Structure 1
Amino acid sequence: MSLCEHCVQGVRHEGKPEGQIEMIGGVECYVGTPTVDYSKEKVVLFLPDAFGINLINNQLLVDDFARNGFKAVAPDILNGDAVPPEAMNAGNFDIPAWLANHGRDKTRPTVDSVVAALTDQGVTRFGTTGYCFGARYTFDLAFDGISHCSVVAHPSGLKIPEDLEKYASTAKAPLLINSCTVDAQFPLEAQARADEILGGGKFAPGYKREYFDGCEHGFAVRGDMSNEKVRAGKEGAFKASVEFFLQHL
């Protein structure tokens, strides 16, 4: 796993969260439930960035998925040890030290506990959406045949081209990548490789990549809404995600 400086930068958004904290499979989760009738067999598993489920930005995104008719569950994949919001833009957060305690050996079992509990509740189809840190698990759940539809925004922690090649050969879940101009974790070269490996009809389940010009890593969750291009990117990435889930989940 790896993160860059932009993984712990951004702007805290304003709003009033409408979801609830629930314990699912022994794991604290932030849950957004539609107020209208919805398919109880489907869940959008929201896999957050390093700031975790208590960052208001992530909670508001979960709420937005619920408003669009999907029950959305964001598990605390960081086991109560997310990057604190006050570290945002502080410029002195020790990313390597934090990552040492958040490897897949510690975080993946948490994801699996939630998936197992939701399955026991009758969920049969999982859509996964991973932002930054959470994108690693979106890929892994697709590799393991758990995810039925995958969406990532400015993914972190991927090995390029290995993970893209493995997705092409192993996964059955359609994939949407929301990408941007400045992204050390998923740069333009990686974006081009994704198109080369998965695009042009090569990946039968379905592949799409959206590109948001003038945006940088983190735009889809922690972007500065006072910047017109960034606002358009955040809203565009969310709209693309909803449409992809509506089509494939």
Structure 2
Amino acid sequence: MSCPDCYSGHVHSGTPRGTIEKLHGLDTYVTQPSDATKPVKGIIVIIPDAFGWEFVNNRILADNYADKGSYRVLLPDFMFGHAAPVWLLNSMKVVTGKDSSYLAKAWKIPGVVYGFASFLFFNRPGRRYPIVKAFFRALRAANPEMHVGAAGFCWGGKHTVLLAADPEMTVDSGKPLIDCGFAGHPSMLSIPGDIEKMHRPVSFACPENDPQVSLAQAEIIKKIVEGRTGESRGEVVVYENCGHGFCVRADTTNDDVARQAAEAEDQCIRWMQSHF
């Protein structure tokens, strides 16, 4: 999670249309289909990348999921206000830019190091997963008849995998914490250990150029999850010429990357529809 690509990318333009609510103890961005006549088919909880629940890209993605799949989409503040600052994106462009001067890079490096360290200190999986789990447990209890899916990105991808491996069955419904999951360019995974523990179906969107999950590791994940039968069977889709973060922070001026980011959205919706 300390790789530069985890904190790089582009801010998207758009105006999120959802509302802010306090749900199960957490501030949460809530959005539903823009066509109010469409019935809600289930609940998707987005577990975001390092930039958290207030990042405009994540909220726009939530809106897109709501419209594409007719879902109620929740984007909680699992980080308790300690998301990576958005200014880190611009600082990373300077630090990693080929045209940046040494002076400009030297000026930005201390801030980048601070941004990395602060995020990682507050948001270690061991510290945040109990918060994530408690939210899903409460969500299940409050919505026993609804299907629930988790869509995690980068930092959130790890938590989706942990939820899919969690043995707990919710007390009130007797159901697992999630029906299924989607993991877009997940980070911090222990491969194959984390994958072998999963018992819920997860769909992985893996970019070709990813320092967090290499192509060789993606093949290991694919062999494990696609080699299963029944409700635990998953899938892996590799996106060519894309890098880490493309599902959320894609350069929309690059037609090929923008197209594949949209395809990853459709992958998630298709997966949820097939398991709800």
TM-score, normalised by the number of residues in structure 1 = 0.91
Equivalent position to 2:262, from 222, 235, 239: 235
CA distance in 2, matches of 1:197, 1:134: 21
Choose between structure 1 and 2: higher helix proportion: 2
Tell me if the contact between 1:49 and 1:134 (Cα under 8 Å) persists in the aligned partners.
yes
Tell me if the contact between 1:50 and 1:83 (Cα under 8 Å) persists in the aligned partners.
yes
Within 5 Å, which residues of 2 pair with 1:42-191? 42-68=42-68, 69-91=70-92, 92=109, 93-94=112-113, 95-123=116-144, 124-144=146-166, 145-167=176-198, 171=199, 173-191=200-218
- State which structure, 1 or 2, has the greater radius of gyration over its C-alpha atoms: 2
CA distance in 1, matches of 2:7, 2:273: 31
> Which residue in the other structure is 2:7 paired with?
8
TM-score, normalised by the number of residues in structure 2 = 0.83
CA distance in 1, matches of 2:9, 2:229: 34
Q: Which runs of 5+ in 1 are unaligned?
A: none
Q: Secondary structure at the match of 2:152?
A: strand
CA distance in 2, matches of 1:121, 1:196: 36
Q: Which runs of 5+ in 2 are unaligned?
A: 93-108, 167-175
CA shift at 1:97, angstroms? 4.2
Coordinate RMSD, CA, aligned: 1.6
Tell me if the contact between 1:178 and 1:210 (Cα under 8 Å) persists in the aligned partners.
yes
Tell me if the contact between 2:181 and 2:202 (Cα under 8 Å) persists in the aligned partners.
yes
CA distance in 1, matches of 2:130, 2:22: 15
Amino acid at match of 1:76: D
Q: Which deviates further from its counterpart, 231-240 or 28-37?
A: 28-37
CA distance in 2, matches of 1:160, 1:111: 21
CA distance in 1, matches of 2:60, 2:191: 31
Q: Secondary structure at the match of 1:90?
A: helix
CA distance in 2, matches of 1:163, 1:8: 23
Amino acid at match of 2:163: L
Dislocated runs of 4+, deviation >4 Å: none
CA shift at 1:179, angstroms? 0.9
> Which residue in the other structure is 1:246 paired with?
273
Q: Note closer, same or farther for the CA distance 1:63–1:213 as it changes in structure 2 (3 Å cut).
A: same
Tell me if the contact between 2:187 and 2:213 (Cα under 8 Å) persists in the aligned partners.
yes
CA shift at 1:183, angstroms? 0.3
CA distance in 2, matches of 1:203, 1:132: 27
Amino acid at match of 1:60: I
Q: Secondary structure at the match of 2:207?
A: strand
> Which residue in the other structure is 2:228 paired with?
202
